[in-house]
Structure 1
Amino acid sequence: MTTIEEIEDAGLTTDARPQAPRDKNEETNNAIEDNIAEEKSREPQTTQIPKSIYKRPKQSKPKIPKTSPIANIINIANCNGVHIGKSISYNIQKPPGKFDDKERNYVKTESINKLLNCTEQVTRDHIMFVSSHVGEGWKDIGRLLNYSDGQIYQFEEVNIVRGLKEVVYQLLLDWIQNEPETATIARLTNVLWDAKQEDVVQRFSKKFVV
């Protein structure tokens, strides 16, 4: 092998310069970098999509047209009894009173007149019969016998379990026991007649008047 010194002695020239010995670590680093570059070149190329493409389009809200209030004016002339809207009817009836002048379906017969003027004392048989026929308006009987609404209410609360007949019977029984002097057939008949219990009076006259 010819050395540089031999070439120079032979009168030959060269532009080659001796290179410094390579560092092994540098060669290793270069090799690693080459391998990384080669691996990156093998990876599939991904294309980055601009973020603006993924933006959802803004949904425009439907515009609601502005409406102005409208008032309908109806002029009605020369009319009577015009009604607009729902029709509500109220049926208000006057409750039957104790001394209502309403026409009665019963007349005072001879037998009834005898009862209206009879001074005999009322017995338990009499009030037993009467109480079995008294219906609506029975409280008016108690009022005409000078019982208060509170007393009538108490008679009802205590005896209503056994029926209305028992309530009326106990009321009349209390009356004949506490007012024996005024508890006459005439008094009872007049009270029944004024309390609109004409049917009871008629039956009473047929039962006890001969």
Structure 2
Amino acid sequence: MSAGVDRQSGRPRDPEIGAKVLLAAQRVYIRAGRAGFTFEAIAREAGVGKPAIYRRWSSAEELMRDVLGSHVLVPAHRSDSGIREQLFEIALATLRLVQSEQGTFILRVSAERQTQPELFDRYFDRLREVIHTQNRDLVEQAVRRGELAGDCDPDALLLSITGAMLVGALMGFAPDPAVAPAAAAQFCRAAVDQTLAGVLSDAPSSHNG
């Protein structure tokens, strides 16, 4: 449901309450999953009355759809200094996401994806389209420029880096960028350098990234 007007009364919505409920809903889902995703639990987490939620959303599924839609997935501006620096930025952005509250939510959704396949599959389609597909374009451009070998597989290259961030965070190898930014940056650069070692082109390039 689009923001703006109270569903039952026609009164203008309070945007602060709406944002507070969306954040509370995300946190409830992280803790309790789909089984515990109830208006009562969300109202308690948000510190609002249940009527404030019922006025805005007709069902838990509708509220979940708005939680998913509230996630900002558009990647930050990428450096134009070369593929190495671009991949470093991708690695660091991935590590920040994985170790954020939103990242924890995504992992929980992934684990329970089968409970609402139509809703959650659409979310992951959007996740791939906005993040992975755009990043793949950067790798393909680097291949065309001659920075990377012609037989470089863009998907495999990106998954090697983003997968390293995910596994590194889950297993405790990757520093948290919010706590140790310098160490996190070093971890990301090492992963990128190791991955690029086998796919750099021997042809001269104008980019020194």
- TM-score where L is the length of structure 2: 0.18
Bigger RCO (CA 8 Å, 6+ sep):
1
Larger Rg belongs to: 1
